[in-house]
């Protein structure tokens, strides 16, 4: 369970330390994964006066840290090591806007953290202490994507803006090296009116950014907008050199579709990109709209178009968002769909394996579904995350509040590639966001639907290499004051980086703030 912790502001912390000092008692020490955190210790400096000491311990075991004898708890603690305010987004949230976007990237050596915000700012922080190293502000933009070069010397930034620029910045100073306006390819839209909550999302954008081993960039440029009363789409997938020159493109000319969040198997020379469409009129027949296009790397030569039939009568088309992965070695394409299906497609042909995790069920004549919005392959397993309950768009009243809960909502699933269920986890939380580093998986935990408690936000950590059920694999919980945006980052040394955002309470007031929280 996530538990509420009192605020640790600088005044209260100093007061507590002075009181402990006056009483002759040592400062408190917390046992975390692979270490201990406290003040006055010898080790890695963290935010404030905290220090991390590497330490191996087990539950129930007696250990000594800084002259204190401690007993290992059943689970390690997870505590904030620093926080950074990201600006005021209260007006956007209070007026009903979606969770403000945020992007995070950790340098290859783990020393620096880049943060991109809804307000168009890019911050470069010391990833241990939170100290600000550099910052810039982009005009008329929000930051969609961030990635460091393999050597950490460059930071690449993808924006959503009238120009949809891809930037290369110096990885230490954030000085601009070059900028590539992708709107030259997928079209421009004017900046939206200030009172338009969702207008920014009609601008062209960098909707996917992967840095390849040779330093080249795989970039998805996408644009969906309204013109003359009709919805239009234009997108293209590019390989861009480290110097900012496009060296390959698919399709050859930007197409009347949306291309988002490609998945890369660089060892297998393969990229998978979901092909969606929201525009009016007939879709391009040559593209697998509602499915996935497989392409070779680095030339983006088409390999296979994988089409998924709509799950009628509830859905008019299939849709893949961020639940996508491909492995040439395992011979499989993994896709999680908006209709609740997971499909394991054999590369090179064969019959698809379909798992109906969140597919519609009927309760009181109302169909209920749970989208598979995020998922990936991990070794020989398929990891899938089903969302909260919704009514399919093809139903008679999709905007109504669901009368009951889908039995598979808000669940983390692990299947082997033959479709057998390895383990699963479901808690009382709304869940969003799935990140993996090494053998650790992070899951964003939001509020519970069953009550209005505010002590259940944060990040849950699971051991993918462990044994047993999902509950037995749960390592620890990392509480935050507010809900976390679904894009999180993990360091293999145990640090967790998440962006919190405000939320609207039942009485209409706002809770929380827009800030980065680093935990360990």
pLDDT in tens, 235-267: 999 999 999 999 999 999 999 999 999 999 999
E strand segments, 364-439: 366-378, 381-390, 411-416, 421-426, 431-437
Is 365 a residue whose pLDDT tops 90?
A: no
Neighbour-count burial of 347, counting CB atoms closer than 10 A to its CB (0-12 exposed, 13-18 middle, 19+ buried): buried
Collapsing DSSP states into helix, strand and coil, what is residue 173? Answer: coil
pLDDT above 90 (res 274): yes
At 20 the pLDDT is: 41
Residue 453: pLDDT band (50, 70, 90) is low
Alpha-carbon distance of 327 to 253, in angstroms, equals 27
Structure tokens at 12: 């209260």
pTM, full prediction: 0.91
State residue 17's pLDDT score: 37
Q: What pLDDT was estimated at residue 448?
A: 64
Nearest to 344 by CA among 326, 365, 318: 326
pLDDT of residue 13: 38
Torsion of the alpha carbons at 418, 419, 422 and 423, rounded to the nearest 10: 160
Question: Which sign does the torsion angle of CA 29, 35, 37, 41 carry?
Answer: positive
> pLDDT category, 7, cuts 50, 70, 90?
very low
Contact predicate 114/171, CB 8 Å: no
Residues 86-101 have pLDDT tens digits of 999 988 888 877 789 9
Residues 6 or more apart in contact with residue 130 via CB below 8 angstroms: 47, 81, 82, 83, 84, 516, 518
147 in Cβ contact with 64 (< 8 Å): no
Q: Which residue has the tokens 């009238």?
A: 162
User: How far is the CA of 400 from the CAs of 197, 338, 347, in angstroms?
Assistant: 22, 18, 40
Q: Which long-range contacts (CB under 8 A, 24 or more apart) does 394-403 make?
A: 394/312, 394/313, 394/314, 394/315, 394/316, 395/314, 395/366, 395/367, 397/366, 400/366, 402/366, 402/368, 403/363, 403/364, 403/366
Q: Compute the mean pLDDT over every residue in the chain, rounded to the nearest whole number.
A: 91
Three-state SS at 476 = strand
Look at phi and psi of residue 104 and say left if phi exceeds 0, alpha if psi is from -120 to 50, else beta.
beta
Average pLDDT rounded to a whole number, residues 9-31: 52
Q: Is the model's pLDDT at 82 over the cut of 80?
A: yes
**What average pLDDT does range 37-63 have in this prediction?**
95
> What 3 state SS string does 217-256 have?
EEEEEEEEEEECCEEEEEEEEEEECCCCCEEEEEEEEEEC
| pLDDT surpasses 50 at 147 | yes
Distance CA 374, CA 386 (A): 8
């Amino acid at each position: 369970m996530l538990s509420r912790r009192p605020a640790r502001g600088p005044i209260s912390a100093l007061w507590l330390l002075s009181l402990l000092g006056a009483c002759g008692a040592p400062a408190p020490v917390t046992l975390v994964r692979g270490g201990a955190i406290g003040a006055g210790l010898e080790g890695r400096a963290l935010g404030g006066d905290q220090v991390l000491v590497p330490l191996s311990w087990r539950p129930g075991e007696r250990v000594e840290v800084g002259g204190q004898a401690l007993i290992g708890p059943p689970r390690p603690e997870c505590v904030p090591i620093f926080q950074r305010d990201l600006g005021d987004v209260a007006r956007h949230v209070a007026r009903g806007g979606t969770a403000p976007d945020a992007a995070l990237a950790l340098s290859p050596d783990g020393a620096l953290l880049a943060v991109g915000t809804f307000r168009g700012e890019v911050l470069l922080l010391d990833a241990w202490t939170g100290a600000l190293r550099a910052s810039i502000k982009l005009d008329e933009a929000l930051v969609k994507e961030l990635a460091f070069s393999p050597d950490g010397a460059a930071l690449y930034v993808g924006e959503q803006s009238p120009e949809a620029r891809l930037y290369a910045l110096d990885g230490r100073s954030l000085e601009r090296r070059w900028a590539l306006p992708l709107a030259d390819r997928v079209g421009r839209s004017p900046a939206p009116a200030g009172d338009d909550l969702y207008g920014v999302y009609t601008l062209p954008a960098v909707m996917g950014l992967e840095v390849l081993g040779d330093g080249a960039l795989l970039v998805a440029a996408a644009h969906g907008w309204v013109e003359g009363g009709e919805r239009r789409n234009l997108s293209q997938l590019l390989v861009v050199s480290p110097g900012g020159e496009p060296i390959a493109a698919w399709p050859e000319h930007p197409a009347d579709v949306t291309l988002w969040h490609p998945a890369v198997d660089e060892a297998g020379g393969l990229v998978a990109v979901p092909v969606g469409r929201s525009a009016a009129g007939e879709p391009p027949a040559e593209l697998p709209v509602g499915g996935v296009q497989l392409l070779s790397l680095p030339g983006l030569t088409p390999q296979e178009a994988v089409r998924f039939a709509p799950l009628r009568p509830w859905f008019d088309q299939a849709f893949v968002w961020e639940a996508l992965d491909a492995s040439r070695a395992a011979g499989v394409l993994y896709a999680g769909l908006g209709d609740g299906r997971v499909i394991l497609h054999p590369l090179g042909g064969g019959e698809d394996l379909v798992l109906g995790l969140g597919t519609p069920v009927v309760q009181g004549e109302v169909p209920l579904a749970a989208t598979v919005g995020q998922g990936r392959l991990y070794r020989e397993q398929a990891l899938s995350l089903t969302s909260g309950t919704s009514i399919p768009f093809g139903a008679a009243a999709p905007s109504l509040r669901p009368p009951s809960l889908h039995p598979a909502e808000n669940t983390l699933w692990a299947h082997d590639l033959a479709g057998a269920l390895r383990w699963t986890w479901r808690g009382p939380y709304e869940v969003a966001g799935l990140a993996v580093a090494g053998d650790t998986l992070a899951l964003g935990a939001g509020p519970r639907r069953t009550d209005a408690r505010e002590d259940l936000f944060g990040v849950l950590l699971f051991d993918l290499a462990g044994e047993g059920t999902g509950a037995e694999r749960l390592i620890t919980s990392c509480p935050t004051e507010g809900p976390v945006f679904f894009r999180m980052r993990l360091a293999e040394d145990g640090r967790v980086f998440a962006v919190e955002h405000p939320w609207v309470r039942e009485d209409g007031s706002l809770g929380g703030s827009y800030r980065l929280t680093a935990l360990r």
